[in-house]
Amino acid sequence: MKKYQQGFTLIELMIVVAIIGILAAIAVPAYQDYIVRARVTEGLSFASAAKATIAENSYAGASAAAIGWSPPSATENVGGVSVDSTNGVITISTTLKAGDVTLTLSPSPVFSANTPNLSATSIQWKCSVSDATKAKFVPSNCR
pLDDT of residue 121: 58
- Round to whole Å and give the CA distance between 67 and 85: 8
- pLDDT tens-place string over residues 64-114: 999 999 999 999 999 999 999 999 999 999 999 999 999 999 998 888 888
Residue 9 has pLDDT above 80, yes or no: yes
pLDDT of residue 60: 86
Q: What are phi and psi of 51, to 5 degrees?
A: -60, -40
Contact 90, 52 (CB under 8 A): no
Q: What is the DSSP string of the chain?
A: -PPPP-S--HHHHHHHHHHHHHHHHHHHHHHHHHHHHHHHHHHHHHHHHHHHHHHHHHHHT-SSTTTT--PPPP-SSEEEEEE-TTT--EEEEE-GGGT--EEEEEEESPP-TT---TTGGG-EEEEEES-GGGGGGS-GGG-
- pLDDT tens-place string over residues 19-69: 999 999 999 988 988 999 999 999 999 999 999 999 888 888 889 999 999
Q: What is the pTM of this model?
A: 0.81
Confidence category of residue 1, pLDDT binned at 50, 70, 90: low
Residue 122 has pLDDT above 90, yes or no: no
- Round to whole Å and give the CA distance between 107 and 126: 6
pLDDT of residue 106: 94
pLDDT of residue 75: 94
